[in-house]
Amino acid sequence: MKQTDVKSLINYIALKILGGSDYVLDALEEYLVKGEGPASVAYKYNISKHQLRGYAQRIIEKSGSEGKAKKIVPILKDISINVKPVVRRSEDGMYKCSLCNMTMSREDTEEHVRKYHKEALTVAIKEMQTRLEQVKQELQKAKEEKTVIFTSAS
């Protein structure tokens, strides 16, 4: 069975969010986890069905399987809650960087972040890794508590 590439998942999502595609996990949750139709999800987030399927494909690949991806998307959403876009869409449809005020098109946002704001990307990745550790500990604790209840009841 294919391993889950957590590092790659976090890097991918951090760059997506910083580059202004901060809807990506919401879209994936609706499409992949809740099983809503690709057309309506794509329409809602103003992307093409092709793009949506591309995001899903990447997440499934990095997760190791579709089943794992379905479990991981909500966790990724949880751990990225404090990560905010650096580049945002402006009213004229172009994208503007909040750190250096440069204006660019949608296709260039991620490259821009990678090239000029590597530090912000590193901070976002660290933040997500830290949150992930907390989530893991919480899950572990919940598991142990359940075991205790189960053992004492029997």
Interface positions with Zn ion (CB under 5 A): 97, 99-100, 102, 116
For residues 63 and 106, give the distance between their C-alpha atoms in angstroms, rounded to a whole number: 26
* Minimal distance, residue 122 CB to Zn ion, in Å: 15
Backbone angles phi, psi at 88, to 5 degrees: -125, 155
Q: In the complex with Zn ion, which residue's Cβ is closer, 75 or 99?
A: 99
Q: Which residues contact 43 (CB under 8 A, 6 or more apart)?
A: none
Closer by beta carbon to Zn ion, 68 or else 88: 88
Residue 61 CB, shortest distance to Zn ion, in Å, is 29
Nearest residue to Zn ion on Cβ basis: 97
Compute the least distance from the CB of residue 113 to Zn ion, in Å.
7
Q: Nearest distance from residue 98's CB to Zn ion, in Å? A: 8
Taking alpha carbons only, the member of 132, 100, 101 closest to residue 118 is 100
72 contacts: CB under 8 Å, gap ≥ 6: 4, 9, 59, 63
Which one, 77 or 116, has the nearer CB to Zn ion? Answer: 116
- Residue with smaller CB distance to Zn ion, 52 or 121: 121
